[in-house]
Amino acid sequence: MRRALAVAGQELHAAWANLLFNSIPAAMIIPRPLRALIYRCRGMRIRSWRIGAGCFFGGADIEIGEKTFINVGCFFDASAPIAIGANCLLGPRVTIVTSSHHLDADRTLGGAPVTIEDGCWIGAGATLLPGVTVGAGCVIAAGAVVTHNCQPYGLYAGVPARRIRSLDIQGEAATEKGGRSGSVAVLRTRV
Ligand SMILES: CC(C)(COP(=O)(O)OP(=O)(O)OC[C@H]1O[C@@H](n2cnc3c(N)ncnc32)[C@H](O)[C@@H]1OP(=O)(O)O)[C@@H](O)C(=O)NCCC(=O)NCCS
């Protein structure tokens, strides 16, 4: 009985936390600055308010840099830290997985952090697996599954993601209002 009550308490706590920090901020009706404020109240280190609706954050150990844009429906399991740099673009339904199970019969739970450095574009539906670092200025093609680190300024595509091209930095990107932004680069492919 005591065990059942403890489990019920944990489930209630999880449901309440999910309502407060996932269901409510993920709603389409919530304006983006308010959404970012709610995430900050949860303890996430967020320096951008450009986070779309429908995202799921499984923990609070998440850092999102300045002017980074997170599109709708992204999934961050966050059982290990996730760090996303400044001036990044995450397309719709990007999945960042930090937890994993060992291949032994017990399927012991493990995990490792994921890092996305400044100025990356992660295409729609891409999946980043535990422990990977995506180097600065990379483009990850739609649907790619990133299983290893990506060296900076590369276009990576496929399952598993492979570097298919290197990218050049051409000047500075315009900000949302057409001004100049300090660090992000407009990426042009080197053919
Ligand atoms: C990678 C991408 C940027 C295209 O780059 P590009 O320089 O125009 O590349 P190309 O179309 O010339 O394709 C180059 C090669 O990569 C392949 N490729 C392109 N996109 C791919 C993808 N998503 N997965 C696997 N391979 C891909 C092409 O088939 C081509 O292969 P080939 O040379 O054997 O024919 C684009 O395909 C992509 O994935 N865009 C993401 C769009 C998105 O997520 N939008 C959401 C808005 S945030």
What is the number of alpha carbons within 13 Å of residue 156 lying toward its C-beta? 31
**Pocket of ligand 1, candidates 51, 87, 164: which has the most ligand atoms within 8 Å of its Cβ, to mutate?**
164
State whether CATH 1.10.1040.10 applies to domain 2-189.
no
Q: Per residue in 130-147, pLDDT tens?
A: 999 999 999 999 999 999
Q: How far does the centroid of ligand 1 lie from the alpha carbon of residue 136, in Å?
A: 19
Please name every residue paired with 76 in a beta bridge, in sequence order, or none if there are none: 57, 96
Q: Which two tokens stand for residue 115?
A: 């890092």
Q: Alpha-carbon Rg of the chain, whole angstroms?
A: 18
Active site residue 13: no
Which residues approach ligand 1 with their CB closer than 6 A? 71, 89, 91, 123-124, 139, 141-144, 155, 157-158, 164, 189
Which is the closest atom of ligand 1 to the Cα of 143? 23
Q: Per residue in 155-186, pLDDT tens?
A: 999 999 999 999 987 544 433 333 333 334 44
d(C-alpha 51, C-alpha 74), whole Å: 9
Contact criterion met (CB below 8 Å) for 36 and 55: no
Q: What is the pLDDT at residue 190?
A: 41
Q: Which two tokens stand for residue 147?
A: 């299983």
Find, among 31, 70, 26, the residue nearest to 47 by Cα. Answer: 70
Q: How far does the centroid of ligand 1 lie from the alpha carbon of residue 188, in Å?
A: 13
Q: How far does the centroid of ligand 1 lie from the alpha carbon of residue 169, in Å?
A: 18
For the entire predicted model, the pTM comes to 0.87
Residue ranges of the domains in the chain?
2-189
Taking all residues of the chain, what is their mean pLDDT, rounded to a whole number? 88
Across the range 78-88, mean pLDDT stands at 96
Q: Atom 36, ligand 1: which residue's CA is nearest?
A: 141
DSSP state of 103: S
